[in-house]
Amino acid sequence: MLEVTRRYHFSASHRLHVESFSDDANVQMFGKCNSPFGHGHNYMLEVTARGEVDEATGLVIDQPALNELVEGAVLRDMDMKYLNEQVPPFTQGAVPTTENVVDEIRRRLQARWADTFGAAGPKLARIRIIETRKNEFEMSCG
């Protein structure tokens, strides 16, 4: 077994805000991240696939297919966008914390993973987002 990690980059803005909280409660909970018009990051996304090295090709995963999957399922939709106003489910009340963004990306990739790589192909192992140089969020995917 070997893990291959590919990094992708997208830039987006977000605002951490819960509708049902008062203004004061939102500021108390989210601080600067509650700033009313949103703020942005250059998100660095790591997608890790795990599998056996194919004996013929020496590869674990079809990287162009992975690039296309991430481009189609994530980057095209999130890059250069305001997550709260343009990217479901954050348009429907889900708070675009980076935890929730990681989980949404996992959901989107898993929905198309088996069709892209086949049941016997590599598995989605991990999603990590490096939000700033100081903050990272990571989730194992099985």
Please report the DSSP string for 51-64 in residue order.
EPPPTTT--SS-HH
Q: Look up residue 105 and give its two tokens.
A: 């990306």
Residues 50-69 that bind another protein (CB under 8 A): 53, 56-60, 62-64
Least distance (Å) between residue 7 CB and another protein:
4
Taking contact as CB under 8 A, which single stretch among the options 1-9, 18-26, 73-81, 103-111 is the one that binds another protein? Answer: 1-9
- d(C-alpha 67, C-alpha 63), whole Å: 6
Least distance (Å) between residue 43 CB and another protein:
13
Least distance (Å) between residue 20 CB and another protein:
40
- d(C-alpha 97, C-alpha 135), whole Å: 12
Closer CB to another protein, 27 or 41, in the complex: 41
4 lies in the binding site for another protein (CB under 8 A): yes
CA dihedral angle for residue 52, residue 53, residue 55, residue 61, rounded to 10 degrees: 100
Q: Which amino acid is at 84?
A: N
11 lies in the binding site for another protein (CB under 8 A): no
Q: Which amino acid is at 102?
A: V
Binding residues (CB under 8 A) for another protein: these are: 1-8, 48, 53, 56-60, 62-64
